[in-house]
Amino acid sequence: MKSLLFSLLSFSLVALAPAGASAQTESHTLLHVVTVKWKAGATAAQIQAALNGVKDLPSKYPGIVHVWTNSIKVQGGKANAFVMEFADQAAFKAYTDSPAQKEWYKVYLPIRDESTTFDIIN
């Protein structure tokens, strides 16, 4: 009887482990790292407005947990970098074409020459 009970318990733990691992993976935050080269002629005020817009995004889109904009070192001809931390992958996906993104893009896209992004799960 003990052997049967032990076998059932072991089977249950093994069967439930993948479900728990999958749920745990989905709850990780996502870091959206962007390096930016501004268009020639972009003013310091325009660039600051774009960076301030990034800083304001968490108040406009609840899926963004933190934002960092203070670049210390940026390579490859880029002038600035910023990081947006999303609550999870679903929040990141839902951000695309959201009202918050569209509003910020009005300030950001006209002065962005090129950017490189890295999306990282922590």
What number of residues does the chain have?
A: 122
With cut-offs at 50, 70 and 90, classify the pLDDT of residue 40: very high
Confidence of residue 22 (pLDDT cuts 50, 70, 90): very low
pTM of this structure: 0.77
Q: Is the pLDDT of residue 121 over 80?
A: yes
| pLDDT for 17 beyond 80 | no
Q: State the residue for tokens 């670049």.
A: 71
d(CA 120, CA 122): 6
Q: Are 42 and 115 in contact (CB under 8 A)?
A: no
Domains of the chain with bracketed CATH? 27-121 (3.30.70.100)
Higher pLDDT, 105 or 77: 105
pLDDT tens-place string over residues 42-52: 999 999 999 99
Q: How many CA atoms lie within 13 A of 55 on its CB side?
A: 8
- Stretch 68-80: mean pLDDT, rounded? 92
d(C-alpha 105, C-alpha 114), whole Å: 14
In this predicted structure, which of 23-37, 80-94, 100-114 has the lowest mean pLDDT? 23-37
